[in-house]
Chains A and B, each alone.
Chain A
């Protein structure tokens, strides 16, 4: 019991630290700057148009 706690708690702390780090990176990277367009973006990329195929071709 004591042993498992002394291992698991540091593990949890490290994981939380990691999560906070990733979140900070995402914010600094501008991923949270415009939440309005992101809400509509999922609708935009859903369907394939000729333009989409063209993009794939060029890549």
Chain B
């Protein structure tokens, strides 16, 4: 426990601010805290004799919440209909608890709630963080129970699950029942089988044996028709679509063996295979269950991101603050966010604030934001109370756009997954043919064994693992990338990134952070009045969104504004006519109408007036990124729409050999196309604002936002946390994805090919074949999940 003291807050583990003095004796030891909230929570926990929480926990708790909002809202009967069910004299609420870090939290929450008056039953789900709370309304209210949890630093909100999650839960229960029934059936049939074997040695009369076979058939029937039903349904669906999937051979094996056995029982002749049928079903179901469970966990991770929008927001309505459901926020609303709360919509700050944007960036480092900066829905207020004005309502927020993009990526099936599906279909056809051939050959050799040998072949060589090999790796890789602040919109990007030869960078907003500063102003025309020139520049740039315009506007913001109409020439500059004189502000060749001059100029009727010097800042991590790319022997080219001399300057700083300025989007696209014709695989990294066609031309593309506008609907990969060095992580993640895919395919293929001769030779019993097939699938899934342990190289996250 000593290590908590030295690293940070005893309760939540965050660093203790330098000048903070939050100390208290907990369990006879002086502990330090990061804030009074955590201090009080720790005192409360140990004061109630619940100090064991600190010994039981395996992860630090979430930072405590300072204030308890108006929870009485949750006692509202209308609102309660959504998540509270009436059980006569008691009520049961379904809630989502935030702040659970390990099972010790589960223990603490249950203990705290059981201590409350009127609580009948409490249970907390450690994976989904769902709290089922049964209480007597005559003795307590939901809000007071919620308040009790808030005191311990857990926030609670109504449990609303996506239909997807509900389906998963229903499927899980069904699958458990199927496994259970198959297990019972398998054991019972096994017992009868022992009686028959014993009979085989000691002698048994035909009537008894036939009766025992009937018993077996009786027990096998519900297993085949209930437990094995999903195999038949899936196989039928595939056949209807004139396609072969993994379930076709399985259904054939189970169905064939069952029918053959029933016929044998009816006619009282021949072999019965009920035991084999049962074991098949049982082991296959278990394998499939584990596979579903791990996929479910994947989904749950994703789903947490969706839970990040709070239910209620504190909004100013008619000069009064009121709790309003987040979904009812509209643009222009004033919203207040207390410490520890999540932000309900995108907006602009009215005060400075400390924000945790880890939901986008994967980095939990608090970010200081100034008045006027953007805040995003789903991010967390770590500092004091602040207010903001809503600019995008909840369902149009960055978070919801990001989630939509992620959904699309999940639905999008990469090309080679489709190829793998096709290969697997051929494989299945081959398996069926081989099984038939095996049956025919064994029928000649030993007709009594022919049937079960064919069954073994059918099951053992089923390419389940092969079809799982790539999709599982990709799903896990997309998840992992998201945790590192990378939104993968097209999972194909992973394999393309691992083969890339050349990366083309855009300059402005990509290698540089998109912010310019004015370094020098030179009044070339000495007759001009500087205050008039300043006012003119300020006016001209007032409405342009170009980064240079923003810099100039900021530099001359103290000057007055002139009254005139301004037109913008995209890619050149801005223009206005005052008293018959045409003033232009922009690039030299346009403003001065001459070639050979560089820089930014203010001109009057084409005559030089003022030259402006601006400089853009390199991103902090650009240098490190390019060095690491050079180590990896990946070529780097800079293509920029900016002036050649400024591009050269940046290229020199970064030690990049090939850098071209004055590139229009069409030029950039042409360059990439030309390189591709020479056989190079080219990735494009841009800011996604004015280079869409370039991004599309490249083999794969990465979009790095500049922190103001997060572009999430372009490019194959979006760097959500604006850190360029995240590209290094992306590249190594791509390589690891590729490696795991290869391992999986190699394993699945070699398993299938090596078991085939053994099964055909009659060396593999049907139940062993079922275990082998299930195990190889589970192995493939487990291998895929290894990618989740990926730790970034760039030092982020």
Contacts and interface: CB of A to CB of B under 8 A. Distances in A.
Contacts of B211: 5, 9
Interface string A3-41: 001000100110010011001100110001110110011
Contact of A13 (B56, B114, B218): B218
B173 A32 contact: yes
Interface stretch (B121-129, B314-322, B374-382, B571-579): B121-129
B542 interface: no
Interface stretch (B17-25, B175-183, B449-457, B648-656): B175-183
A13 B172 CA distance: 27
Interface string B196-237: 000000000000100100010011000000000000000000
B126 A51 contact: no
Contact of B180 (A5, A24, A55): A24
Contact of B107 (A33, A34, A40): A40
B527 interface: no
Contacts of A13: 215, 218-219
A23 B180 contact: yes
Given A19-B184, A32-B173, A32-B176, A51 B111 contact: yes
A16 B221 CA distance: 14
Interface stretch (B45-53, B68-76, B482-490): B45-53
A23 B226 CA distance: 15
Given A20-B180, A40-B103, A28 B117 contact: no
Contacts of A40: 103, 106-107, 126
B48 A37 contact: no
Contacts of B177: 23-24, 27
A58 B106 CA distance: 22
B211 to A, nearest CB: 7
Interface string B114-153: 1101000000111110000000000000000000000000
A51 to B, nearest CB: 5
B169 interface: yes
A51 B50 contact: yes
Interface residues on A, range: 20 to 34
A28 B211 CA distance: 35
Contacts of B184: 16, 19-20, 23
A49 B50 contact: yes
B294 interface: no
B298 interface: no
Contacts of B637: none
Contacts of A36: 103, 126-127
Nearest to A10: B215
Contacts of A2: 208
Nearest to B110: A44
Given A12-B188, A40-B106, A34 B125 contact: yes
B195 to A, nearest CB: 9
Nearest to A37: B126
Interface of B: 48-50, 52, 56, 103, 106-107, 110-111, 114-115, 117, 124-128, 169, 172-173, 176-177, 180-181, 184, 188, 208, 211, 215, 218-219
10 contacts: A2-B208, A9-B211, A23-B177, A23-B180, A23-B184, A33-B169, A34-B125, A37-B125, A40-B126, A44-B56
Interface of A: 2, 5, 9, 12-13, 16, 19-20, 23-24, 27-28, 32-34, 36-37, 40-41, 43-44, 47, 49-51, 54-55, 58
Q: Which 5 residue pairs of A and B lie closest in terms of their CB atoms, listed nearest first? A: A37-B126, A50-B49, A40-B103, A44-B107, A34-B125
Given A40-B126, A51-B48, 19 more contacts: A2-B208, A5-B208, A5-B211, A13-B219, A16-B184, A16-B219, A20-B181, A23-B181, A23-B184, A27-B173, A27-B180, A32-B176, A37-B103, A37-B106, A37-B126, A44-B56, A49-B49, A49-B50, A55-B115
